[in-house]
Structure 1
């Protein structure tokens, strides 16, 4: 006859399934941990690629023909003459700026293409191919440097940033899309001209 009081003791004393039970408890945690490490690594890699691409793009934009009309930044009141120092920005309260690209007026298509693919030099997409022209925003802002009538354009602060660009991850972006921070990169412009054989 089976003693019902001994069954729980025998069940508790049985050790043949411990390893499987522990594995079933720990395995999901390990999978989540490994998945988190992979996703975080991909996220940091793409963010770093984006920052490096923006640095290259800002450098290229600082020595290239502007991607939009900047005439609003080169008009001064009648008291400022040719060759005079550029008035300090913000004489009206804030520095004037002009933007094009994502979230602003469209940029010049050819100039943006040169910025993206480099046209013989390193471009934004050479470093971060997942950045599209629709994700780039370029801003030209008064810097208060240079003089009125400077050849090849005024000295401006050129800022590049990304907009509406999501991380391309393995799993998380399908569940909850996460955008790459704008991370603006600013640089002081030099000669705002591509020249293309016209410079002497």
Structure 2
């Protein structure tokens, strides 16, 4: 037995067997982290472009005009900010957005490439859109109210095989991508669509 324990042959193989799984895990973590950064950047860019399109498009929420109805007798009066005046639709809201308008923003039409050109995994169901009264504009404005438009990408749009499983396992929330901009005319075709 003493002779067996004093043998040095096979030491390198034993060390290799111990270190190999650790090295594979380290390389896999680096690859997964790079994949995470790539998806994070493309998702953020898609949301930036999406909110730019939303601020010059018809509202996608079904209750927009009932939430932001104004008193015509006060035409020209400033609109007071109201954090309670919110119209939202999309992922995790229980309210469905206008399918045709959202599909045009996500898939593109005409010269507009759509968000899937930048983030191919993106689906209409992964997006939440929120309009909120911000105190800009005036009653009776011809182009409608001036609101803050927020576009948010739900977590399930991000495809991370290992990281997502670990985050779920230890119950760490993955931050969403959200971009906010101030609306402009909220009309897809101000001069009329052909």
What pairs up with 1:1-200 in 2 under 5 angstroms?
8=2, 10-68=3-61, 69-77=63-71, 81-86=74-79, 88-90=80-82, 94-104=83-93, 105-119=95-109, 120-173=111-164, 180-195=174-189, 197-198=191-192
Task: State the TM-score, normalizing by the size of structure 2.
Answer: 0.84
Provide, for residues 74-98 of structure 1, a one-character-per-residue CA deviation record: whole Å limited to 9, x for no partner. Answer: 32457x6112222x213xxx34110
Contact 2:154 2:177 in 1 (8 A): no
Distance (whole Å) between structure 1 residues aligned to residue 157 and residue 106 of structure 2: 18
Gapped regions of structure 1 (runs ≥ 5): 1-6
Gapped regions of structure 2 (runs ≥ 5): none
Question: By how many angstroms is 1:19 displaced?
Answer: 1.2
Give the 3-state SS of the residue equivalent to 1:165 in structure 2: helix
Q: 1:28 to 1:44 in 2, by over 3 A?
A: same
Question: By how many angstroms is 1:111 displaced?
Answer: 0.5
Report the count of equivalent residues. 187
Contact 1:167 1:180 in 2 (8 A): no
Distance (whole Å) between structure 1 residues aligned to residue 184 and residue 152 of structure 2: 19
Contact 2:146 2:183 in 1 (8 A): yes
Provide, for residues 36-78 of structure 1, a one-character-per-residue CA deviation record: whole Å limited to 9, x for no partner. Answer: 1111221221122111111110111011111123113432457
Displacement over 3 Å in runs of 4+: 10-13, 170-180
Q: Highest CA radius of gyration, 1 or 2?
A: 1
Contact 2:71 2:139 in 1 (8 A): no
Looking at secondary structure, tell me which structure has more helix per residue: 2
Greater displacement, 100-109 / 57-66: 100-109
Distance (whole Å) between structure 2 residues aligned to residue 166 and residue 198 of structure 1: 34
